[in-house]
Structure 1
Amino acid sequence: MNFAYELPWYRKFINESDLVFCDGFGVLWGAKLCGYCIKSDNRMTCPDYIENLALACEQENISLFLLAGKPGTVDKAIAKLKAIAPNLKVKGHHGYFEKIGDENEAIINEINKFRPDILYVGFGMPLQERWILDNLTRINAKVFLPLGACLDYYTDAVYRGPRWMTDRGFEWLTRLVIEPQRLWQRYLIGNPLFFYRVFRALIASSWKNYSKMSKFWRT
């Protein structure tokens, strides 16, 4: 949400997506503060549903290409998914490649050769969304699904934290402890900044409504 506030192209990407789902607890709480009817069970995190996604793809004969993670992570993820969905049409490639130039072209050719129904892209935000926009018209896929570090969690390459924390909005704390150098700014600055913007929007909305009512009373 901070990216959407600061980057017009990113905000446009979200607003023009066919489906937007609630991933983080911050968005859930922010939506509730703004008066939207959203429940905790409306929150969807990919590590929790990726196996259900694989089973649904297998049942409906939908192919899946995984483009994410460090070398080896995709292979582990495919092995786990095939264990529960042996007939799943799935292929993958790691996400550590140059996003422009010859290497990028080779990856696009590999994807197009497979012709996936769903392309999972997990480079982290906002790089994955920028890459999708830059290559959208050149890739033969029906659905683009940016899902960040899901495969890292699914393959246990990165620890999410205990369930009691992830289900109560404290997954960020575990991630901060594990990767402080990379994530300190996102959480220690980004979390308060997000809620500051939410409260500022609420105050602005309340003042606007008050001004309208005052004008009505004077009339």
Structure 2
Amino acid sequence: MITPDFDTVNVGGIRTACVGRKELAALVGNICEGYAQRHQAAPFVIFSNNGHAISIYNADKQAREQMDQADLVHADGQSVVSFSRWFKHARAVPERTATTDMIHDIPNFYPGTLKHFLLGGKAASVSKAADILGQTYANFQVVGHQHGYFGDAEEAAICDAINAAKPDVLWVGLGKPKEQLFCIRNKSRLTVPVIISCGGCYNYITGEYPRAPMWMQNAGLEWLFRMAKDPRKLFVRYLLTNPHAIYCVLKHGLAKQG
């Protein structure tokens, strides 16, 4: 098993990697290279941390146990970067590594060609995202994709199909906490070097979900932009999870300081 060297910081109870975008992309590529060389058995699982994740982690025991089994948790939200600097930690997260950027960062910052399998989302969305990524990056080879509307009884067959395609990276976009549960539950079935949870990433690639202006992203306000675009779906979620996440960050941070 490859054990990359990176520092972590406690953000809302979640051990979050202190890595930047280029470093994370290189780490993924190096793990994929090392997998072939060492015949590594277990996939390296990467989950994301943001306000929603912090709230779920502190409210749901099962989700917390799944998150704790990740090999690396990165700062998907700008708020996590800010939270990591609230207390006198020896380390802090250097920059946001949004999953919607990471799927582009890997082919941009890692020169080698990697094979990818996209799992999750609607059939039309994941198929279109696969076409866009494959056409945009010569070193992003899509070897398969599968929509996310399947039942538990179908998981074994889906895992077999993923293994048969032999991807280097499996992207799992089923939404929190379902995607974390899928990754950990099927980790022993999958013979892929890296698994990355990616939420609604495919919809951003296709343009179905617009990204916030850069100033809002840098200010940690992308959640506000998303809520304004889809208030019926996201207003209650952010109304509940954002204050809870801040409370959890303070609780864990102050406990550590004490």
- Scaled by the length of structure 1, what TM-score is found? 0.82
Match of 1:145 among 196, 211, 231: 196
Alpha-carbon spacing, 1:176–1:142, altered in 2? closer, same or farther (3 Å): same
Asked if 1:12 is matched to 2:85, the reply is no
CA contact (8 A) 1:78 1:91 kept: no
- Which of 23-32 and 4-13 deviates more? 4-13
Asked if 1:72 is matched to 2:114, the reply is no
Greater helix fraction, Structure 1 or Structure 2: 1
Alpha-carbon spacing, 1:25–1:86, altered in 2? closer, same or farther (3 Å): closer
CA deviation vs aligned residue, 1:63-86 (integer Å, no higher than 9, x gap): 111112212222222222222323
Counterparts of 2:250 and 2:95, CA distance in 1: 22
Other-structure match for 1:49: 102
Other-structure match for 2:229: 178
1:166 is paired with a residue of what secondary structure? helix
Other-structure match for 1:130: 181
- The root-mean-square deviation of aligned C-alpha atoms, in Å, is 2.3
After superposition, residues 84-99 of structure 1 pair within 5 angstroms as 84-86=136-138, 88-99=140-151
Counterpart of 2:116, as a letter, is L
CA deviation vs aligned residue, 1:119-160 (integer Å, no higher than 9, x gap): 110111100001112211112212111011111112211122
CA contact (8 A) 2:78 2:217 kept: no
CA contact (8 A) 1:61 1:88 kept: yes
Q: Count how many residue pairs are aligned between Structure 1 and Structure 2.
A: 204
Q: Which has the higher contact order (CA 8 A, sep 6+)?
A: 2
CA contact (8 A) 2:173 2:201 kept: yes
Counterparts of 1:92 and 1:186, CA distance in 2: 32
- Scaled by the length of structure 2, what TM-score is found? 0.70
Counterparts of 1:2 and 1:87, CA distance in 2: 36
Highest CA radius of gyration, 1 or 2? 1
- For structure 1, the 5+ residue unaligned runs are 210-219
CA contact (8 A) 1:115 1:141 kept: yes
Greater strand fraction, Structure 1 or Structure 2: 2
Other-structure match for 1:216: none
1:32 is paired with a residue of what secondary structure? coil
Match of 1:121 among 172, 177, 201: 172
1:11 is paired with a residue of what secondary structure? helix
